[in-house]
Amino acid sequence: MNKAMNQSNKKLNIGWLFLMAWRDSRRNRSRLFLFISSIILGIAALVAIYSFGDNLRQNIDDQAATLIGADLVFSTNKPATPAIQKLIDSLGTEKSQEKSFVSMVLFPKTGSTRLTLVKALEGKFPYYGSIETTPVAAGMDFRKGKEALVDKVLMLQFNVKVGDSVKVGLVSFKIAGVLDKAPGSIGIASSMAPVVYIPMQYLEQTGLSQKGSRINSSYYFKMPGNADMEKLVKKIEPRLEKDGVNYETIQTQKEQTGRSFEDLTRFLSLVGFIALLLGCIGVASAIHIYVREKINTVAVLRCLGVNGWQAFLIYLIQIVCVGFIGSLLGALLGTFIQQILPWLLKDFMPFTIDVNTSWGAIGQGIVLGVLISILFALLPLISVRNISPLNTLRISTEEISLTRDPLKWLVYLLILAFISGFAWLQLQDVIQTIAFTVCVLLAFLILTLIARLLMFLVKKFFPFSWSYLWRQGFSNLYRPNNQSVILIVSIGLGTALICTLFFIQGLLMQRVTLSSSGNQPNMILFDIQASQKAGVADLTRKQGLPVISQVPIVTMSLLEINGKTGAQLKADSLGKGPSKRAFRNEYRVTYRDTLVNTERIKSGEWVGEAKPGDVVPISVEDRYATRMRLKIGDKMLFNVQGLPVNTVIKSIRTVNYNRIQTNFLVVFPKGVLEQAPQFYVLLSRVPNSKVSAKFQQLVVQKYPNVSVVDLGLIISVVDELMDKIGFVIRFMALFSIITGLIVLIASVRISKYQRMQESVLLRTLGASRKQILAITALEYFFLGFLAAATGVVLSIAASWGLASRVFDTAFHPQILPVLGILAFISLLTVVIGLLNSRGVLNKPPLEVLRRDV
């Protein structure tokens, strides 16, 4: 028997299966395409992001030299030691130096002031690319005289023009040109600290390079064409490390930029992947209904001698073909969308991106699309094998059920493996991969459970007393072959993404705004020298402004923890002792005898005054101690401007960062640092922007080295930053929303075939067009409303969690915008539902009944 069967199967070649797949699809092609259309956007998003990533890599390779502007760069925030100076003198065929620091500048034309990043430059830097200015020549010419280049945003903001002047410290410079772009600069950075270039020879005269000022020095080298940079770097690296000098070459710049943007493209890929997963659920749901409609056809084929696997293959072939076409369309759309991405991300890019078609990305997208359509279609499709030929005689006594099919579990396993495999490819980290997979599954699970719960509640508390139309519309939510779960999951997830983003943005803004309310300080003056301390405080009071606090700051570096240097910790660290990262940065430390009102001792004991001759008792901030794995009793040896100071951690403090306050990682007691070189920070409160502008002018004129930060400015910068980041995330969330809408359209069209017979029957029984319209509208209104409401509830829960756990603040959702979102999504669902049902409404019942639906 088996032998005979095998012989017959050999004769029945794969060609016949393709032929049958083709024949069977003849009357269903538009529907099949609709099933798969929900993955088009997901594939489009991924292809766009992959193409963008490919272009980015290519551009980084091509433009790395212009990003850094030189072959080799040294940067340090300490004066060059004799050894380093000797090294600098010995390197390069040409060299340039730049000193940069944060300082206030004044535009005398308008009297306005602004905190900027001043860069004093000498030499012919950049050696690759250019400082882009208007006029073009200004980029090089400003170095010859008392001239400056001013960031274009700053120029616009204060309405100054080329030829006007800008005062930096004690010196007024003529503005030679508008700074459009400096090598390696990122658009968004200019809103934080816009750049002003001045010639190095005038730095001394500005009075801003005094001892204690925080100045960062960079040395740019042009090397001979035949220089072996790898060998050179290997040779000088130990020396540079010893003296705390960082270096960059074109190669390291390439790697570093590549790494940063790899993270960006990975993040965007994951967001795109969520849209794709959403589409996949749409595919699975649609194929489930498609298979149900095919039961009779399969049963007839089985009667005629087709075996289970052959029947399965006929439909698998259909899915593969339509999946391929869908993926191809998605890839085309993605290639088009990638033209938008560089524009969308331009504020985060250090260079302009040339967009080219990435065949690799297109290939990846198509393979992924086909794979994913097969994988998610498999779940309902494997049941085709179990359709009994008995269905031709009567409805089978056994409902085709997936739960008893062991292959179902294999498919689930494959889907899980696929999701985590994809996440791993993007994240390359096991923990993050598990976290992402679990989060995705949880989100889908919660939405599914909520959807099922809603359906259960609708059924349980059905409003029997309502009118017929309302009852009919309502009951469609839970009747057989309904699309409630899939729609609630897809629209709910899209709504949840958008709403959470909206809430978090509001939360952050609210937090910053709250900080400036009441009697909280809203203006910070820093870099006040010891000699200026009394004068600045006096000036503040004379303007009728309070001196809320005036805090001394001493800069120092860490030499040892528990007798071990950073290098020793690096060598023998097993990840249990203090982290070597503690050695990376310079410490800005204050000293006082009491805690301030934003601090609380978490463990240990606060010691306010040091006893002469004892090891100095210090206090460390809680989160920093955790990150650096520091504990009570650890000994820290600091280098305070050349003098070693032994300390021991006596207490760990928690700090409330919600208030504007000078907060410190390390606090010294009184009696140690009083004689060390130090500067001061003064906190005050200004009533309005007019007073603020006037006060800033006075400070800049009298104390040009003192920088002023107005909280109003911080709020506007945070707002701008949030807007830009929010825009990118909203753009990506849009894919989920549109995918949700496509799933909605597809589902509505599928349910249209389910509902058609019923609507026609109702019309035959005398229901008017208006009544059918009302039933349909009500059904989709309930669906859209429940889906959007689920999404909003989830986003409120997520935002509340983020507010209390991450941002440590109370969360009060804004009601009006939420109601707006609810109404919009409900309405959109109704419109799509009605548009799709018009076929039934506009035709006479007989025409529909006779048609082979």
Partner 1 sequence: MENILKITNLSKTYQSGGQPLTVLHDINISIEAGSTAAIVGPSGSGKTTLLGLSAGLDRSTTGTVELNGIALDNLSEDQRAHVRNQHVGFIFQNFQLLPTLTALENVMVPLELRGEKNIKPRALELLAKVGLESRSHHYPSQLSGGEQQRVSLARAFSNAPKILFADEPTGNLDAETAEKVVKLIFDLNREAGTTLILVTHDLELASKTQRIIRIKGGHIVSDEPTDKIMVHG
Which residues in this chain contact partner 1 in the complex, by CB under 8 A?
1-2, 4-5, 8, 10-13, 16, 19, 23-28, 296-297, 299-309, 388-390, 392-394, 397, 851-852
Least distance in Å: CB of 844 to partner 1?
18
CB of 331 to partner 1, least distance (A): 29
* Nearest to partner 1 of 21, 672 (CB atom): 21
Q: Is 176 helix (H, G, I), strand (E, B) or coil?
A: strand
CA 441 distance to own-chain centroid:
20
Distance CA 245, CA 233 (A): 12
Q: With CA atoms as reference, report the closest residue to 16 among 302, 294, 311, 287.
A: 311
Nearer to partner 1 among residue 4 and residue 816 (C-beta): 4
Q: How near is the Cβ of 759 to partner 1 at its closest, in Å?
A: 20
> Minimum distance from CB of 27 to partner 1 (Å)?
5
Q: How far is the CB of 9 from partner 1 (least distance, A)?
A: 9
Q: What is the dihedral of CA 123, 127, 129, 131, to 10 degrees?
A: 0
Q: Which of 286, 281, 283 is nearest to 751 (CA)?
A: 286
Tell me how far apart the alpha carbons of residues 766 and 370 are, in angstroms, rounded to a whole number: 46
* H-assigned helices in 143-228: 152-157, 189-192, 203-206
CB of 301 to partner 1, least distance (A): 7
Contact 779, 785 (CB under 8 A): no
Task: State the pairing for strand pair 523-529/679-684.
Answer: antiparallel
In angstroms, the CA 202 to CA 170 distance is 10
CA–CA separation, 747 and 779 (whole Å): 13
Least distance in angstroms from the C-beta of 25 to partner 1: 7
Spatial contact of 571 and 616, defined as CB atoms under 8 Å apart = no
3-state percent helix, strand, coil for the chain, nearest multiple of 5? 60, 15, 25
Q: Please, which residue, 25 or 100, has the CB nearer to partner 1? A: 25
> Measured between alpha carbons, how far is 600 from 283 in angstroms, rounded to an integer?
55
C-alpha count within 13 angstroms, C-beta hemisphere, residue 52 = 30
C-alpha torsion 221→222→223→224, nearest 10: -160
Task: Give the ranges where 120-202 is alpha helix by DSSP (H).
Answer: 138-141, 152-157, 189-192
What does the H/E/C string look like for 460-494? HCCCCCCCHHHHHHHHCCCCCCCCHHHHHHHHHHH
* Secondary structure letter of residue 194 according to DSSP: -
Pick the closer one to partner 1 by CB: 300 or 457.
300
Residue 851 and residue 853: Cα distance in Å, rounded?
6
- Min dist CB 2 to partner 1, Å, is 7
Q: Is residue 548 classed exposed, middle or buried when 0-12, 13-18 and 19+ CB atoms within 10 A define those classes?
A: middle
In the bound state with partner 1, the residue whose beta carbon lies nearer, of 298 and 737, is 298
Write down the least CB distance from residue 296 to partner 1, Å: 7
Helix (H, G, I), strand (E, B) or coil at 349: coil
Residue 25 or 529 with smaller CB distance to partner 1? 25
Nearer of residues 94 and 293 to partner 1, judged by Cβ: 293
Rounded CA separation 623/653 (Å): 9
Taking the complex as a whole, the smallest distance from the CB of residue 814 to partner 1 amounts, in Å, to 53
CB nearer to partner 1: give 5 or 137.
Answer: 5
The rounded distance, in Å, linking the Cα atoms of 813 and 507 is: 9
Rounded to a whole number of angstroms, the distance between the first and last alpha carbons of the chain is: 40
> For 563, how many CA atoms within 13 A lie in the half-sphere containing its CB?
1
Q: Which two tokens stand for residue 397?
A: 């006594």
Min CB(290)–partner 1 separation in Å:
13
Please say whether the beta carbons of 176 and 141 come within 8 A: yes
Q: 200 or 390, CB closer to partner 1? A: 390
Going by C-alpha positions, the residue among 378, 382, 376, 375 that lies closest to residue 404 is 382
**Nearer CB in complex with partner 1: 13/689:** 13
Smallest distance, partner 1 to C-beta of residue 799, A: 48
CA separation for the pair 432, 417 (Å, rounded): 15
Which residue type occupies 810? A
| Of 390 and 717, CB closest to partner 1 | 390
Give the shortest CB-826-to-partner 1 separation in angstroms: 37
Report the nearest approach of partner 1 to the CB of residue 310 (Å). Answer: 9
Distance CA 110, CA 165 (A): 10
Of 572 and 852, which CB lies nearer to partner 1 in the complex structure? Answer: 852
Structure tokens belonging to residue 826 = 């409900």
Q: How far is the CB of 483 from partner 1 (least distance, A)?
A: 24
Q: Which is nearer to partner 1, 19 or 643 (CB)?
A: 19
> Nearer Cβ to partner 1, position 407 or 793?
407
Closest distance to partner 1 from the beta carbon of 480 (Å) = 19
**Is residue 368 within 8 Å of residue 328, measured between CB atoms?**
no
Beta-carbon contacts of 520 under 8 Å, excluding residues fewer than 6 positions away, are 659, 660, 685
CB of 847: closest distance to partner 1 in angstroms? 13
Which of residues 293 and 622 has its CB atom nearest to partner 1 in the complex?
293
Closer by beta carbon to partner 1, 192 or else 390:
390
Torsion sign over Cα 347, 351, 354, 360: negative
Q: Is the dihedral of CA 535, 536, 538, 543 positive or negative?
A: positive
Least distance between partner 1 and beta carbon 407 (Å): 15
Residues whose CB is less than 8 angstroms from the CB of residue 322 and which lie 6 or more positions away in sequence, other chains included: 25, 32, 33, 35, 36, 373
